[in-house]
Amino acid sequence: MSEQKIILYGAFDRYNYGDILIPIILGKYLEENGITNIEYCSIRNADLTSMGGFKCKRLNLGEIPTNSSIIVSGGEVVNVDWTSITSYFMGWFGNRFIRVSRLIFPRSWVNSICMKIMDGQFKFPFLIEKESICKSTHILYYGVGGVSIKSSDQLIKTTLVEADLISVRDKNANHILKSTWGIDNQLTPDIANAVSKFYPKDELLESTSKNTKAFILKNEGAYFCFQMAQQYTHGELSTIIDSLSKLILEGVPIALLPLGIVSGHEDDKILEQIYERLSSEKVFILRDIHLIDSVSLIAHSKVFTGTSLHGNITAMSYAVPHFPLNKNVPKLISYIKQWDISAVEACPDYSQIHEFYEKSTEMDVETLKVNRDTLISHIEQNVGKVCQIISSES
């Protein structure tokens, strides 16, 4: 047991806010329960410490000691394939090339090519195949997403059936695994809902950068925190600008917050365009990306909106009024319906952003706090089950 490793495995090798936040919170919960020797692994080596993340290394199946545990740590990972993973590292052109290739050629063929490019070890990037590792190694899936998984995905089924524990964050995955495939699993909130437990609001500013801290202190609890991914602009940039301009005219400061900067998200690019078009002293944009600055900007805002699931989850955790910016983000809408309060609704059209901001300012904060505490209680029950398995010997 002394050599036992606890390997947190996921999409940690590029900066996407939620994918970095999830393992950090899970790691803190494990340490709180006396579980140490935690190692972060991903598809390839990466060092995101300068952005508030951590160092992770490529998962090496030959270096896993007896009775270790691999925990696939959250994110929409149940049915993601190698084409999606590869596209994140190929830049704008490579990303589009892969997307077009999937429309022209059989996806299985494109996937096999991408698997070779990334030197993949499993058929699916984040589904651990039992025959590839030591028999005594525990395989756990914690709070994973599978909002688009289908009952026909039999290859996924044959891999998941070997797991020691599976918890999922959405009803679709919960239903297909349990009712269709007969695989026991628990429905649990995303562990990022507990970010406020480990990063209390009144302590965040101590670790927030100078420029971000200055904006927050100047506009404490009075600004609108706005995030969006470039792919959801849909040619409506002018509409977005017009709606945000109405808030500026009413005296509302705005913080533009990029949470995903890899190819396929590119929040930073679209928010930079919005910043330039708004051209107002009341608008702040986070350019030096850092996890704590991102958490702090959401936690101290009056209202948050975004297309990011974990941006909205962070707002939930700090009981900040919020609303999904786009109704066509499946994993976000699914999560809000399952775990958020009934007053939270997605903005149906970008022309109504200013209206939904005003509506959100009337949201009952106490109801948000009660929901936050309920979700954290659910999370901690599930963490307890994880710790039991990790502590047992095979």
Pick the CATH number of 195-373 from 3.40.50.2000, 3.40.50.880, 1.10.20.140, 1.10.220.10: 3.40.50.2000
Structure tokens at 350: 């970008």
198-256 pLDDT per residue, tens? 999 999 999 999 999 999 999 989 999 999 999 899 889 999 999 999 999 999 999 99
SS3 letters across 216-283: HHHCCCCCEEECCCHHHCCCCHHHHHHHHHHHHHCCCCEEECCCECCCCCCHHHHHHHHHHHHCCCCE
Same fold, 6-193+375-391 and 195-373: yes
pLDDT tens readout for residues 344-363: 999 999 999 999 999 999 99
Q: From CA 335, how far away is CA 84, in angstroms rounded?
A: 21
pLDDT tens, position by position, 286-315 = 999 999 999 999 999 999 999 999 999 999
Among residues 194, 151, 188, 170, the alpha carbon closest in space to that of 329 is found at 170
Mean pLDDT for the stretch of residues 151-159: 92
Work out the pLDDT band at 371, boundaries 50, 70, 90. Answer: very high
Instruction: Quickly name the fold that domain 6-193+375-391 has.
Output: Rossmann fold (3.40.50)
What are the Cα distances from residue 316, in Å, to 26, 191, 207? 18, 12, 21
User: Quick one: pLDDT at residue 394?
Assistant: 52
Q: Where are the domains of the chain?
A: 6-193+375-391, 195-373
Angle (deg, nearest 10), helices 365-391 and 17-32: 60
What b/e sequence results for 148-175 when a residue is b if at least 16 CB atoms lie within 10 Å of its CB, and e otherwise? Answer: bbeeebeebbebbeebbbbbbbbebbbb
- What is the pLDDT averaged over residues 7-21? 92
